[in-house]
Amino acid sequence: MEKISGFKTPLVSHIYTADPSAHVFEGKLYIYPSHDLENEGLDDGKGDHFKMQDYHVLSMDDIGAPCVDHGEALHIKDVPWASEQMWAPDAAYKDGTYFFYFPAKDKDGIFRVGVATSKIPAGPFKAEPNYIPGSYSIDPAVFVDDDGRAYMYNGGLWGGQLERWKTGSYNPNEPHSEAPFTDEDALGPWVAEMSDDMLTFKTEPEEFKILDENGAPLKASDEERRFFEAPWLHKFNGKYYLSYSTGNTHFICYAESETPLGPFTYKGRVLEPVLGWTNHHSIVEFKGKWYLFYHDSSLSGGKTHLRNAMYTELEIAPDGTITTIKPYGD
């Protein structure tokens, strides 16, 4: 089944926001996006034209209510280990503290994941002096399960450098590639259980696979289903659902597992392609309904590096099946 998106208005229009991670904190919606800045950089295939230096936190008291920009929550100048590219973030809450997770390149140009903390969901956040040991690549998403255990999902191909970690250590000579590796299993994201203090990993990051309907890992050539970037996890009726972007084919897809550690079996599409090259999303339940937060480039007239976050209601059947959303109704 397909559904036409019901909300097409950017959350805010005074700044460009992308990669919205939505959570319900203190009874209302908080959205943690990245912040796109105007620049003249050329798209070199590695994402260097995305010049992001800080983060803002947005909130809404209810669906349809005005979206409030709480201002700058964290800037790269206040992150001792980071050099550039503050890309898609996420947030979590535990034991009276709000945790803000973000990727950035370290002084050697390697993507790592940092963490910052605050006592209020809107921030500002204070960064830890070092990135999380053992972290690499981009797009952290942290899921806190019903038992209190928390997990980070992470990874992005091409500019996200995931291919450069195939051997277990960083290989700067491993180029990102637009050519599918037809005989190889697709690279999956990695997952690590968070420590009790949410500042480090309890377990080493470990890749997990997305399987096809026959239980075989998706191949790298399966560009309409394989993982590219933007992992997100939600739980529904006791099962775990990983959603993610396919990158160059521009779908948001989802897969199902009995455990938060996978493997996950491919189930279908959440969202059809949007205007702009990237898509990055989150899925959240609020007041008994489910919502998809995502972005496109409509506010900038199609400039791929200047995006705007938005949202729409998501239909999830009792068996977990998600109705595919067509963002423009065509």
Active site residues: 19, 229
- Asked if residues 242 and 151 have their Cβ atoms less than 8 Å apart, the reply is no
Q: In Å, how far from its chain's centre is CA 56?
A: 16
User: How many Å from the N-terminal Cα to the C-terminal Cα in the chain?
Assistant: 14
Cβ-contact 276, 283 below 8 angstroms: no
Q: Give Cβ neighbours of residue 274 (< 8 Å, ≥ 6 apart).
A: 250, 294, 295, 296, 297, 327
β-bridge mates for residue 179, sequence order: none
Beta bridge partners of 294: 310
Handedness of CA 97, 101, 107, 108 (dihedral sign): positive
SS3 state of residue 78: helix
Measured distance CA(90)–CA(149) in Å, rounded: 17
> What are residue 192's DSSP bridge partners?
152
Place of tokens 């972007």: 245
**Tokens representing residue 241 in the block:** 């659902």
Q: d(Cα 11, Cα 7) in Å, to the nearest integer? A: 10
With the CA atoms of 251, 36, 90 and 328 taken in that order, what torsion angle do they form, in degrees rounded to the nearest 10? -30
H/E element, 200:
none
Residue 236, class by beta-carbon neighbours within 10 Å (0-12 exposed, 13-18 middle, 19+ buried)?
A: middle
Single-letter residue type at 95: D
